[in-house]
A and B are shown apart, each in its own frame.
Chain A
């Protein structure tokens, strides 16, 4: 039966080819088998939407395409995490191969669910030692449980942006370095007006834009989880101290109700109506983008930047701050992973690419080489944030299986504290720990 023999031979050849092909890929752990030199079109989704940012990412992609003529990149911007998640779940040809997300807190979910592929084998294949390329804190927030499912693409450092004219007017010569001095300065800069304010030294409530509990807590160097992975908010006194200090500041500046009524008059964070631009607040906890945005909004006062104050008993650590940033990952379902890796590798590890992109959108570069690059444009205001990024005690919030849900639970408790609804902070933190543990257990 010649037909049967032919089929048998064909099947044998196929099986042999498959076995050999599998053997050749080695034990790298990467299942990608596509040819990175083949002509291919990648779908890249990102969240940038401002015209300047979109132009910058497109220039970055154009440089990549010039260096990789076989890879065409179809760029889609203004994508939120919700849209990205849906597309990753749906898969298919139109789903993204490469994704960038602003939500650093989602990394745990991305890694834990397998939405993004582990980049460890790709780094190894390219001979890249991530610990020598990226700052440690940035590696911390781009991986979960040993799975490096994302890499950092620029990052944000949080510090204090302040109105130098207001400081001069109040006779303050330098930004506050310790928490007690910070409270004093905030009170000096506050100008009441009837039952409201003409200006507050700082809007200390946790709905005050970037003033989140996590960013403030970083100044107390907290440990969110015990070594065995249990929530540690009640165990580490840093959290209770931070909450008490913030509540004290809220009370000293006029109380929660009065401050929140004033906050309701604030404009949008990303517009020229930002209260810092309008002189309604003299100090603002913010990222490195704020001085540039304030200048673009046409402010007439002089802007200063400084690290956030530290607790009085940690004065030696002044200069540290909270770090987070944009992350890039590759869809696990992508059939073009080797080509996608070329794009991810270029955007995240090519020093010139990282520096050019950082210069264009005024973010902090995300590689050690780029941080020291002479091509990096550094203004005095921006240098403060570069120094915060380099500070060995700067920290971030750890990735978790439930993404940032644990942070939202903590934030929820912090809202209750600042409103004065909590009389026993320690007991409240213990309850918060139990909730966080339950949520993480559910997510795992």
Chain B
């Protein structure tokens, strides 16, 4: 997500400003500069308009609404820091959602990156059946999230699901999965790993792009498999790893459908009419920040607090991305 400042074209007026400070330019030169600036603005205008309408305006509106009492029916009324105070000290869903989102960011992004890389390595190395395996690992990614989540909840049903039947048959403990607050996030992680197809394709492309000569040179120098991976593969694919981590963080920050559907189905309220439902079953363990944006704005009629949550999410995404880019600088450098 670009920073607001990224929307501002910084170079357009600069050429006219420098000569103006020294000597007053001739009228013809001024007209030329003005025409040049207008031409630049005209070429930039589609982007400027798009950025303004779809990024800057919504962002500024979100900031504005976060300081208002607004239910969507009556005009917004300025209420100072009420929404922010309520968010941090009164809204009972905020801190559980924050904890869960951070847990998922750390665990899901790490697991998906490692698993995606591992599957990519496996498929690029095996000689027979690679096509079949590639298809098998990619197919789940194409499944609609709601259908995939429903299938997982039924597969992991502690009473009737085949997974627990197998575990019990093998004499292993059978967890409650989506009905147990301690197991629901690991179950969501398993679901995220099942849909690893996108990362697998990206890593496969990166791995196939590593120059063979470097492996040959390393082998001649006596490097073993781990050393070849550490000193040849990893530096070459470092930008892709960084890309996978940054996009993974942004995706998990927006994690909404899977935890909501899993929570609702496991709670047994999928078809209930007239029943109110706050997300997060069991025990708020599947609650994520995007879910409470919806909860505050559309279920509690509190746009102001919803906007405050959205801004927290925005700041968190920016901070994580900035941190990763800064740390990733070394990673990127390793590939150069």
Inside 8 A of B226's CB, which chain A residues have their CB?
Answer: none
- State whether the Cβ of B54 lies closer than 8 Å to any Cβ in chain A: no
Inside 8 A of A270's CB, which chain B residues have their CB?
Answer: 271-272
Given A89-B73, A114-B73, A260-B179, are A324 and B90 neighbors across the interface (CB < 8 Å)? no
Interface string of A428-444 (1 = CB under 8 A from B): 00000001001100110
Among B90, B159, B298, the residue within 8 A (CB) of A265 is B159
Inside 8 A of B92's CB, which chain A residues have their CB?
Answer: 409, 412, 435
Binds A, one of B28-36, B135-143, B240-248, B273-281: B273-281
Least Cβ–Cβ distance between A125 and chain B, in angstroms:
24
Given A264-B179, A404-B276, are A438 and B298 neighbors across the interface (CB < 8 Å)? no
Binds B, one of A24-32, A100-108, A336-344: A100-108
Least Cβ–Cβ distance between B209 and chain A, in angstroms:
46
Give the bracket for the number of chain B residues in contact with chain A. 20 to 34
Among A102, A408, A442, the residue within 8 A (CB) of B302 is A442
Contact of A261 with B72 in the complex, beta carbons under 8 Å: no
Interface string of B277-308 (1 = CB under 8 A from A): 01001010000000000000011111001000
A165 CA to B305 CA, complexed, in Å: 53
- State whether the Cβ of B158 lies closer than 8 Å to any Cβ in chain A: yes
- Which B84-133 residues have C-beta < 8 A from chain A? 86, 90, 92
Give the bracket for the number of chain A residues in contact with chain B. 35 or more
Inside 8 A of B205's CB, which chain A residues have their CB?
Answer: none
- State whether the Cβ of B13 lies closer than 8 Å to any Cβ in chain A: no
- State whether the Cβ of A305 lies closer than 8 Å to any Cβ in chain B: no
A105 CA to B276 CA, complexed, in Å: 8
Given A113-B71, A402-B300, are A261 and B159 neighbors across the interface (CB < 8 Å)? yes
Inside 8 A of A324's CB, which chain B residues have their CB?
Answer: 274
Contact of A438 with B90 in the complex, beta carbons under 8 Å: yes
- Which A60-113 residues have C-beta < 8 A from chain B? 82, 85-86, 88-89, 101-106, 109, 113
Inside 8 A of A109's CB, which chain B residues have their CB?
Answer: 301
- Which A392-406 residues have C-beta < 8 A from chain B? 402-405
**Interface SS of chain B: helix, strand, loop or mixed?**
loop
Interface string of B59-88 (1 = CB under 8 A from A): 000000000000111100000001000100
Residue in A closest to B298 when the chains form the complex, CB atoms: A82
Contact of A209 with B268 in the complex, beta carbons under 8 Å: yes
A105 CA to B159 CA, complexed, in Å: 32
Given A113-B301, A114-B74, A405-B300, are A268 and B90 neighbors across the interface (CB < 8 Å)? no
- State whether the Cβ of A39 lies closer than 8 Å to any Cβ in chain B: no
Least Cβ–Cβ distance between B143 and chain A, in angstroms:
22
- State whether the Cβ of A181 lies closer than 8 Å to any Cβ in chain B: no
Least Cβ–Cβ distance between B161 and chain A, in angstroms:
9
Inside 8 A of B298's CB, which chain A residues have their CB?
Answer: 82, 85-86
Contact of B276 with A439 in the complex, beta carbons under 8 Å: no
- State whether the Cβ of B160 lies closer than 8 Å to any Cβ in chain A: yes
Inside 8 A of B320's CB, which chain A residues have their CB?
Answer: none
- State whether the Cβ of B184 lies closer than 8 Å to any Cβ in chain A: no
- State whether the Cβ of A47 lies closer than 8 Å to any Cβ in chain B: yes
Given A102-B274, A104-B274, A115-B73, are A443 and B268 neighbors across the interface (CB < 8 Å)? no
Inside 8 A of B283's CB, which chain A residues have their CB?
Answer: 415
- State whether the Cβ of A269 lies closer than 8 Å to any Cβ in chain B: yes
Inside 8 A of A191's CB, which chain B residues have their CB?
Answer: none
Interface string of B252-283 (1 = CB under 8 A from A): 00000000000000111011111110100101
Inside 8 A of A438's CB, which chain B residues have their CB?
Answer: 86, 90
- State whether the Cβ of A375 lies closer than 8 Å to any Cβ in chain B: no
Contact of B176 with A261 in the complex, beta carbons under 8 Å: yes
Inside 8 A of A409's CB, which chain B residues have their CB?
Answer: 92
Contact of B272 with A269 in the complex, beta carbons under 8 Å: yes
Given A408-B276, A443-B302, are A268 and B271 neighbors across the interface (CB < 8 Å)? yes
Inside 8 A of A85's CB, which chain B residues have their CB?
Answer: 72, 298, 301
Least Cβ–Cβ distance between A429 and chain B, in angstroms:
15
A104 CA to B159 CA, complexed, in Å: 33
- State whether the Cβ of B157 lies closer than 8 Å to any Cβ in chain A: yes
Supplied contacts A265-B159, A408-B276, 16 more A-B pairs, CB within 8 Å: A82-B299, A86-B298, A88-B73, A105-B276, A113-B301, A207-B268, A207-B281, A212-B275, A263-B159, A268-B271, A269-B271, A403-B276, A408-B278, A442-B86, A442-B90, A442-B302
Nearest 4 A/B pairs, CB to CB: A102-B274, A265-B159, A264-B159, A89-B72
Can you list 11 pairs linking A and B with CB atoms under 8 Å apart?
A82-B299, A85-B301, A102-B273, A196-B159, A207-B281, A209-B268, A261-B158, A265-B157, A435-B92, A442-B82, A443-B302
